[in-house]
């Protein structure tokens, strides 16, 4: 069982032996997701974009934001792996599940949970651009403050966050914590 505690006024969840400190709570997530949905609705008026959800981390974000987008959208899913069970990216991006549909001549929005080194996003943009979409933009819930060489522009960004390993709201550490309803970081790790 996850247990909520308040330590010096800060919310901390005890999850077995780990403590998870809340970075972005449920309310802040919901209101920012709503705003992003509004921006996409405005920019895609009279269009039918395809949302490409990058599995598995983005599944909750996509499920929430799609209901704030008031134009018809279609969905496709792609899975890539670069981390294994570690907190540090291996640097090698591998497609473990490809799209089901063609994106040729479509308005594509890549839906990412988090951009860390930017390697995954750079790889995805390059790979998907080669399939000739009409237009392609990136929507990412979190943008981590790490030094990077070149990273594709995130047009729709939820939050800038410090360089910490975060979990919850779809994001995991070794497949755990995805179902936490907030974004937090594991203390003392």
Please provide the distance, in angstroms rounded to a whole number, between the alpha carbons at the two ends of the chain. 20
Binding marks (x or -) toward ligand IMP, 110..149, rule CB under 6 A? --xxxxxxxxxx----------------------------
Hey, which residues between 55 and 94 contact Mg ion (CB under 5 A)? 57
Choose from ligand IMP, Mg ion, none: what does 106 bind? Cβ within 5-8 Å by kind. Answer: none
Euclidean distance between CA atoms 77 and 58, whole angstroms: 10
Euclidean distance between CA atoms 159 and 161, whole angstroms: 6
53 contributes a contact to ligand IMP by CB under 6 A: no
SS3 of 7-51: ECCEEEEEECCEEEEEEECHHHHHHHHHHHHHHHHHHCCCCCCEE
Euclidean distance between CA atoms 19 and 5, whole angstroms: 10
Catalytic residue among 43, 64, 113, 116: 116
**Could you say which of 113, 116, 137, 143 contacts Mg ion (CB under 5 A)?**
113
Contacts of 72 (CB under 8 A, 6+ apart): 48
CB 61 within 8 A of CB 178: no
Helical (H) or strand (E) element with 64: helix 59-65
Binding segment (CB under 5 A) for Mg ion, from list 25-33, 46-54, 90-98, 131-139 = 46-54
Choose from ligand IMP, Mg ion, none: what does 59 bind? Cβ within 5-8 Å by kind. Answer: none
Q: Is 116 a catalytic residue?
A: yes
Q: How far is the CB of 73 from Mg ion (least distance, A)?
A: 19
Choose from Mg ion, ligand IMP, none: what does 183 bind? Cβ within 5-8 Å by kind. Answer: none
Choose from ligand IMP, Mg ion, none: what does 117 bind? Cβ within 5-8 Å by kind. Answer: ligand IMP
What residues are labeled active site? 116
Q: Which residues of the shown chain bind ligand IMP in the complex (CB under 6 A)?
A: 54, 57, 82-83, 89, 112-121, 165-167, 171
């Amino acid at each position: 069982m996850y247990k909520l505690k308040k330590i010096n006024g800060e919310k901390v969840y005890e999850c077995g032996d780990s403590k998870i400190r809340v970075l972005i709570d449920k309310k802040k997530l919901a209101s920012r997701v709503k705003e992003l949905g509004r921006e996409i609705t405005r920019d895609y008026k009279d269009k039918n974009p395809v949302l490409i959800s990058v599995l598995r981390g983005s599944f909750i974000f996509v499920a929430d934001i799609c209901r704030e987008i008031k134009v018809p959208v279609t969905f496709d899913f792609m899975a890539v792996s670069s981390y294994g069970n570690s907190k540090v990216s291996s640097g090698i991006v591998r497609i473990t599940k490809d799209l089901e549909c063609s994106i040729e001549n479509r308005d594509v929005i890549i839906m990412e949970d988090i951009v860390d080194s930017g390697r995954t996003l750079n790889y995805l943009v390059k790979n998907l651009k080669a399939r000739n979409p009409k237009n392609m933009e990136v929507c990412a819930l979190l943008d981590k403050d790490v030094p990077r060489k070149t990273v594709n522009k995130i047009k729709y960004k939820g939050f800038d966050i410090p360089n910490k390993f975060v979990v919850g709201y779809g994001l995991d550490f070794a497949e755990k914590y995805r179902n936490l309803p907030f974004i937090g970081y594991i203390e003392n790790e």
